[in-house]
Chains A and B, each alone.
Chain A
Amino acid sequence: EVQLLESGGGLVQPGGSLRLSCAASGFTFTNYAMTWVRQAPGKGLEWVSVISVSGDFTYYTDSVKGRFTISRDNSKNTLYLQMNSLRAEDTAVYYCAKGVGSYGSGNYHDYWGQGILVTVSS
């Protein structure tokens, strides 16, 4: 059974940092790209970032470029999202999602974690 378990969320002040983790199990982690998607309270889904199987290729939505860094540790089957210079508008539930392939077009998100809340507030 595929399982994705996010951790590391919480309350942080504006300008602060947080690192999210997503522990994966039930599939061969090294075969699939991984993605972060977020959802602000009461709002829709926003695609955030993707990383290829080897970590060589990454992409970010414009609003987080230069502030967020996606990475993965294939030896630990874990995906990360390092979030720096956090803003109030980054407040959201963050989901990690498994891709159906290595990277690129058509890499659908077939499994999702339960989500973790990040609140940016003073």
Chain B
Amino acid sequence: DIQLTQSPSFLSASVGDRVTITCRASQGISSYLAWYQQKPGKAPKFLIYAASTLQSGVPSRFSGSGSGTEFTLTISSLQPEDFATYYCQQLNSYPFTFGQGTRLEIK
């Protein structure tokens, strides 16, 4: 199975900050990577697919990049509603594994 490692696991930041989360795959996954946002008690929200394509309705302050084994999610200017947990997921080969998550909290 392909393993995904996110860093950092925990991130403390302020409104207006630019933040970057990294996701590394144990083997190459081309660009078959998605990012999700999850708030407590809620289902994950689909943010980005194919490593860099924003899902419809997702604010443009979110962006993704990377291919192969290293990927990043960047939020250019944090808004209060962005404080949540973020997960990457590889969809190159089954099982479609997730990273362990990055919890983004308000400083």
Give residues in A with beta carbon < 8 Å to B: 35, 37, 44-47, 50, 59-62, 95, 100, 105-115
| Chain B residues, Cβ within 8 Å of A100 | 49
Q: A45 touches which one: B46, B50, B93, B98 (CB < 8 A)?
A: B98
Within 8 A of A (CB), among B71-107: 87, 89, 91-101
Specify the main secondary structure of chain B where it touches its partner: loop
> Within the complex, what minimum Cβ distance (angstroms) separates A46 from chain B?
7
Q: A110 touches which one: B38, B46, B95, B96 (CB < 8 A)?
A: B46
| Chain B residues, Cβ within 8 Å of A113 | 43
Given A44-B100, A47-B96, A110-B55; A105-B91 close (CB under 8 Å): yes
| Chain B residues, Cβ within 8 Å of A45 | 36, 38, 44, 87, 89, 98, 101
Given A112-B44, A113-B43; A106-B32 close (CB under 8 Å): yes
Tell me if A44 and B97 are in contact (CB < 8 A). no
Is B34 part of the contact surface with A, judged by Cβ < 8 Å? yes
Count how many chain B residues have C-beta atoms less than 8 Å from C-beta atoms of the other chain.
26
Supply 29 A–B pairs (Cβ within 8 Å), ascending by A: A35-B96, A37-B44, A44-B98, A44-B99, A44-B100, A44-B101, A45-B44, A45-B87, A45-B98, A45-B101, A47-B95, A47-B96, A47-B97, A50-B96, A60-B95, A61-B95, A62-B1, A95-B44, A105-B91, A105-B92, A105-B93, A106-B32, A106-B49, A106-B91, A108-B49, A108-B91, A109-B46, A113-B43, A114-B42
10 A-B pairs with least C-beta separation: A112-B43, A59-B94, A45-B98, A44-B101, A108-B49, A61-B95, A47-B96, A110-B46, A44-B100, A47-B95
| Chain A residues, Cβ within 8 Å of B34 | 108-109
